[in-house]
Amino acid sequence: MSNLKWWQTALFYQIYPRSFADANADGIGDFAGITAKLDYLKDLGIDAIWLSPHFPSPNWDCGYDISDYCDVAPEYGTLEDFKAFLHEAHARNIKVILDLVLNHTSDEHPWFLESKSSRDNPKADWYVWVDTPPNNWQSCFDGDAWTYVPERDQYYYHYFMKQQPDLNWRNPQVKQAMWQAVRFWLDLGVDGYRLDAIGTIYEDPALTPHAVPMNLAQLRRFSETARTPQEIALKNRYWHDMFKHQWGQPELHDLMKELRAILDEYDGDRMLVGEDDDIAYMGNGNDELHLVFNFPLMRVERITPVHIRKNQQQRLARLDALPVRGWACNTLGNHDTSRIYSHYADGQHDAELARLNAALVLTLRGTPFLYNGEEIGMQDYIITDPSKLRDTMATWYYNALINDLKVDPAEAALRAGEMSRDKNRTPMQWSPLPNAGFCPPHVTPWLPVHPNHAEGVNVKEQLDNPDSMLTYYKRLIHVRKNTPALLMGEYKPLHLKAKEYFAFLRYTEQQTVLVVLNYSVTHYELTFRVPGKKQARVLFSSAGRSKRDQPLSKVSLGPFEVLIAELF
């Protein structure tokens, strides 16, 4: 189609393995389950899978605490099961990228067990050790960032939970060991990596303390109760200031270059996407990461036309300014955030807004990433019984609220449930059966299934329903795939002052496409002036508009309508 790389035109789909499909009836998703669903993904129109961690792990942080980088967690299957999955995905022309957690390992990883065993073992310097806590740094998950180990009579540093000790990346042996793991999966044929939390890999060598007059629990609590614009601004500043010495160090660029060089040794355009929004991690556009996520698009309470326009203006200008032009990458949800359907809801037009936002991600310039379940409109399911929480960060917060901040237990349970990432990690809803077809009815799934699986929020009932969210996604994806301007075209916003709808062009030399997303109940008759174009031929309309042409001088747009039209 063009000289674009596969990852530029691909539609990515994030699979959270624990919650996707359980083939062996233990209440936990697995590779056999994922493999059995590949035809579903192909039919949906997916080109690439981002697999959240599938490695052995004690699961303090749901797999992001890895105890062996070169194997498969037994609950997900064996290495052979992984290979079979990869083979079957590739056979369907679906690429697979893995999650690569560089900043930390599990505290049960043999590297850490050895490192903590004495001050003079061969891996003594593989983690960040100090004699006494040198500052007031916080772990962003569970309070103090320094944890004591009696064997060494020393403390180690952890940006995340204490079960996730930070590796000392200034030690070359650490790099070599990790690069071996990177090669292990590339040799097996995986197509790239999503890089976890790269910003946190190095810390300020001067160990400068933070100057926020609170600890983590107090800051979380303050964030929940902040209401006025001043309080909200202060909260945002505090979050930044509390952690600013613990991430974003300049050495990271050399590290990313080193990693990129390894990927470039392989054929097949292997790729890296960073869990970071900083375009600086794309280097000169061709020597660090291929993609970074456009997180500023999603980190708002409400998606509005004004916000989208500003976001695109800022992001695209920076990408365009790179020596080798950068490629955009958009997403609105993942395993760490509220589900799109819940996050951007207004309580009145939730379904309409979810559909608009799906269309947004699938039509903006750049590579889109979807999160499993989004395509059937899965919603957050807040767990109010603290004993059922699996996200241990939330359990920690619950205890801190009760014990340190003396918050009423009922309120603490609600707050913990709301902040917990369990709500957006509940099992995929395949059918209206008990346990939503994720696992057999007699089995207890690792997290409760959202009850709305019995009310139509499931794959089985949506598949043949022309009005379902799933059909809507499939139609949109089909239009995207068959419209070169949407896959690779330039972007030009139109009607820059409109507050309730967002209109833009995507265009190549051969094709010009108009996209209009109406974020309001208003019915519009819009006039667009596009040089050389007079008519709009509807490619997609969520209002069921017929494929008849409309004059560009009078384009009708219904309430909450998504309109995609080719201009001629």
Which residues participate in catalysis according to the annotation? 196, 265
Edge-to-edge strands, sheet with 154-157? 129-130, 154-157, 146-149
The DSSP bridge pattern shows strands 192-196 and 95-101 to be parallel
Nearer to ligand NOJ, 197 or 563 (CB): 197
What tokens does 139 get? Answer: 């772990």
| Least distance between ligand NOJ and beta carbon 564 (Å) | 32
Q: Which two tokens stand for residue 494?
A: 């139109």
Q: How far apart are CA 195 and CA 63, in angstroms?
A: 14
Report, in Å, the least distance between residue 337 CB and ligand NOJ: 9
Residue number with CB closer to ligand NOJ (97 or 407): 97
- Binding interface with ligand NOJ (CB under 6 A): 61, 64, 101, 160, 196-197, 275, 335-336
Residue closer to ligand NOJ, measured from CB, 393 or 565: 393
How far apart CA 193 and CA 213 sit, in angstroms, is: 38
Of 416, 389, 388, 390, residue with least CA distance to 403: 416
Tokens of 460: 């089985």
Amino acid type, 387: S
- In terms of phi and psi (left: phi > 0; alpha: psi -120 to 50; beta: otherwise), the region of 545 is beta
> C-beta of 220: minimal distance to ligand NOJ in Å?
15
Smallest separation (angstroms) from ligand NOJ to the CB of 50 = 11
Closest CA to 208 of 182, 176, 241, 171: 241
Tokens 């001629």 correspond to what residue?
568
DSSP calls for 471-491: HHHHHHHHHHHT-HHHHH-EE
- Which one, 50 or 381, has the nearer CB to ligand NOJ? 50
| CA 231 – CA 229 distance, rounded (Å) | 5
Q: In Å, how far are 203, 315, 546 from 552, measured between CA atoms?
A: 55, 29, 16
| Separation between Cα atoms, residue 195 and residue 381, nearest integer Å | 27
Please state, in angstroms and rounded to a whole number, the distance separating the CA atoms of residues 64 and 60. Answer: 8
**46, 11 contact by CB (below 8 A):** yes
Q: 294: which DSSP letter?
A: -
Total Cβ atoms within 10 A of residue 251: 12
DSSP code, position 467: T
Minimum distance from residue 536 beta carbon to ligand NOJ (Å): 40
**Beta carbon nearer to ligand NOJ, 51 or 516:** 51
For ligand NOJ, the closer of residues 197 and 297 by Cβ is 197
Residue number with CB closer to ligand NOJ (165 or 437):
165
**Nearest distance in Å: CB 214, ligand NOJ:** 22
d(CA 524, CA 535): 17
At its nearest, how many Å lie between ligand NOJ and the CB of residue 147?
16
- Per the CB < 8 A criterion, the answer to whether 463 and 43 are in contact is no
Nearer to ligand NOJ, 142 or 196 (CB): 196
Nearest approach, Cβ of residue 391 and ligand NOJ (Å): 9
Residue with the shortest CB distance to ligand NOJ: 64
The minimum distance between CB 248 and ligand NOJ, in angstroms, equals 15
Task: Report in angstroms the alpha-carbon separations of 204 from 47, 165, 243, 245, 527.
Answer: 39, 17, 10, 5, 54
DSSP summary character for residue 449: P
Q: Which is nearer to ligand NOJ, 197 or 436 (CB)?
A: 197
CA gap 250, 252 in Å, rounded: 5
